[in-house]
A and B are shown apart, each in its own frame.
Chain A
Amino acid sequence: MTARADAAEAAHREAAVQPGLEPEDAALVARLVPPVPSPYHRLNPLTKAAIATAGSLAAIVVGGYPVPLLVIVAALVSAEIAGLLGRLVRVTVAVGLALAISIVLVSTLTRAGETVLFVIGPFDVTAEGVDFAAQTLLKVFALSLSIGLFTLTTHPRALVADLERRGVSSRFAFVALATIEAVPAMVRRAGVIAEAQRARGLDSEGGVVARARGLLPLVGPVLISAVTEVEQRSLALEARAFSRPGRRDLLWAMPDRGAERALRWIVGGVLLAVVLGHLGGLV
């Protein structure tokens, strides 16, 4: 099975390369295409985005119990197909734990309601509060799982290349990709500056006041150095014809199939039906 999976992945990556290249060049570009180890990974980025959007919108707009639970189950099943179930659950719990605790505390303890279950100090825990907390938790986890599945199975470059292939301006593509690279780069730069300042005697382990005082010598250089980089970068881009109007030829972009196009329309239709049904009082 592994050999067949590898062959399918290799075939998909070759299909992503722009036609008309020499075989050696095509093989080289195929290596640049991000890995797609499972059938779910091999879906077109727009299809995965449509699924994630439909799932999260349905869960948020409709609320209640059945729809979010359905979305959660669908997301977990898809994660299993993608071979990412453990990772997705770990990431969702890590990201959503603080939010979940806040929701449970705020909603159960302070929300007004009639059927009091029990009393803790000055707070009444009501059945309405627990019900509201449960529904909100389901909404949040449905949202988080859908979007987490999308970000784990879609490489940012693949998404941006696909959008650019469909006609989104190359400047927007640049902004999206540059942002994705800039965030970890800024965190790394902050680390370097923190060490430099520590070598100059910045107190980084004191109490709250000491740390607050140390915030400016840390944040200041990060901000200023990041912003002044803009001048050099824009000159470099101008030298590479960045402001030339018109579209660019992409060396690779994820392929799209008729079946997936149909799937996207179906997903959109189901979402519309669910939302209208909810508004009309059916769901």
Chain B
Amino acid sequence: MDWVRQQFDTRTIVLIPIAIAINIVLGQTIAAVLKIPVYLDSIGTVLVGALAGPIPGLLTGLLTNVLWTYVLPAPFNSTIAAPFAIVAAEIGLLAGLFARYGFFRSRPNTPWPTLLAGGTAVAAIFIIIGYFGFVPFYAGTDFTFFGDTAEASPFFVAMGYLVAIGFIAAVVGLGVVLLVRRDVGIAYASVAGLITGIVSAIISAPIAAVVFGGVTGSGVDLLTAAFQQAGSDLQTAVLQQGLISDPIDKTVTFIVVFLILQTLSRRFVARFPQGERIVGLEGAEEDVAGIPSA
């Protein structure tokens, strides 16, 4: 219990409302303006999880969704957020755990061999998870992935190519960022995001299917409709849509949070409960002048 209380110092408690506000403002803007199949409403949650710990991250996710539906007044209110509170909580929890094990730590000036190894490892992980984790879910419908495309409807062939291009673009983009910044920490953050995205998709699919009939009023509904049209039942269609949107969304979120943490000053980050693991000062409990940091 002491471990839990340690994560909740004053800075954490002040950060949580700001993180919730970031979640809600960004999530609302994205849902209203851009009709793309990502949500981007967990940046604050992941930030709190990384800086303060798994339990504050869990609380931030939970409170974001509950306050978004039950307490915030009209223009900022969302009908659909509350049932997904448990998904948001899980995102914060996983972010905190990944941060605890150094997945958000910047590793600058990585030597080239390590950089190449990191980039290859991430590409390999993406491809393996993509092939074994995704394709079996889609094999039952007309969705073919470089298979026999003669019989499949053109919509799904196009979708297949789009997803493949998306994958390849992501891996290439990641490689470029690795080359430019020479910081293999991004590779760690993106793997953490991918894993979190898959877990989130699995947890949120039954909730969406049961509570709202698989529809949330955002851009992802087109995907759900497409899968249902191809013959999947509701539960499967929602899961298929989730397994496309959530990993992309969470990977982007984790990378954004990684970049934010690099932009904030080291002194600021290091004073948070898990800040030292992010900055890389593990084991250093006092700062330079010998005064224990708050």
A13 to B268, CA, bound (A): 44
A186 to B72, CA, bound (A): 14
A77 within 8 A of B: no
B69 within 8 A of A: yes
Question: Is there an interface contact between A180 and B217, defined as CB atoms closer than 8 Å?
Answer: no
Question: Is there an interface contact between A183 and B260, defined as CB atoms closer than 8 Å?
Answer: no
Question: Is there an interface contact between B15 and A230, defined as CB atoms closer than 8 Å?
Answer: yes
Question: Is there an interface contact between A234 and B224, defined as CB atoms closer than 8 Å?
Answer: no
Question: Is there an interface contact between A182 and B228, defined as CB atoms closer than 8 Å?
Answer: no
Interface string of B71-86 (1 = CB under 8 A from A): 1111011111000000
The residues in A between 129 and 161 inclusive whose CB is less than 8 angstroms from any CB of B are 132-133, 136, 139-140, 143-144, 147-148, 150-152, 156, 159
Question: Is there an interface contact between A151 and B70, defined as CB atoms closer than 8 Å?
Answer: yes
A230 to B212, CA, bound (A): 37
Question: Is there an interface contact between B214 and A106, defined as CB atoms closer than 8 Å?
Answer: yes
Main secondary structure of the interface of B (DSSP, over half): helix
Question: Is there an interface contact between B17 and A237, defined as CB atoms closer than 8 Å?
Answer: no
Which of B18-26, B103-111, B135-143, B178-186 interfaces with chain A?
B18-26
B residues sitting closer than 8 Å to A (CB atoms) are 8-11, 13-18, 20-22, 24-26, 43, 47, 63, 67, 69-74, 76-80, 211-217, 221, 224-226, 228-229, 231, 233-234, 260, 263-264, 268, 271
Q: Could you tell me the distance in whole angstroms from the C-beta of B174 to the nearest C-beta in chain A?
A: 18
Question: Is there an interface contact between B21 and A224, defined as CB atoms closer than 8 Å?
Answer: no
A73 within 8 A of B: no
Report how many A-B pairs have Cβ atoms within 8 Å.
161
Question: Is there an interface contact between B260 and A140, defined as CB atoms closer than 8 Å?
Answer: no
Number of interface residues of A (CB under 8 A): 65
Question: Is there an interface contact between A223 and B72, defined as CB atoms closer than 8 Å?
Answer: no
Known: A95-B79, A103-B213, A234-B11. A223 touches B22 (CB 8 A): yes
A177 to B233, CA, bound (A): 42
Question: Is there an interface contact between B76 and A111, defined as CB atoms closer than 8 Å?
Answer: no
Interface centre among B79, B264, B271 (most CB of A within 10 A): B79
The residues in A between 107 and 125 inclusive whose CB is less than 8 angstroms from any CB of B are 107, 109-112, 122-123
Residue numbers in A under 8 Å from B260 (CB-CB): 223-224, 227
Question: Is there an interface contact between A182 and B18, defined as CB atoms closer than 8 Å?
Answer: yes
A residues sitting closer than 8 Å to B (CB atoms) are 49, 52, 60, 91, 94-96, 98-99, 102-103, 105-107, 109-112, 122-123, 132-133, 136, 139-140, 143-144, 147-148, 150-152, 156, 159, 171, 174-176, 178-187, 190, 219-220, 223-224, 226-231, 233-234, 237-238, 242-243
Known: A106-B224, A175-B13, A190-B25. A151 touches B215 (CB 8 A): no
A251 to B214, CA, bound (A): 46
19 pairs, A vs B, C-beta closer than 8 Å: A60-B211, A95-B77, A99-B80, A103-B217, A106-B221, A110-B226, A111-B234, A122-B229, A133-B213, A147-B69, A152-B73, A174-B13, A179-B17, A179-B21, A179-B67, A230-B18, A234-B14, A237-B10, A238-B10
Specify the chain A residue showing the minimal Cβ separation from B265: A228
Partner of A180, one of B69, B72, B234: B72
Question: Is there an interface contact between A179 and B20, defined as CB atoms closer than 8 Å?
Answer: yes
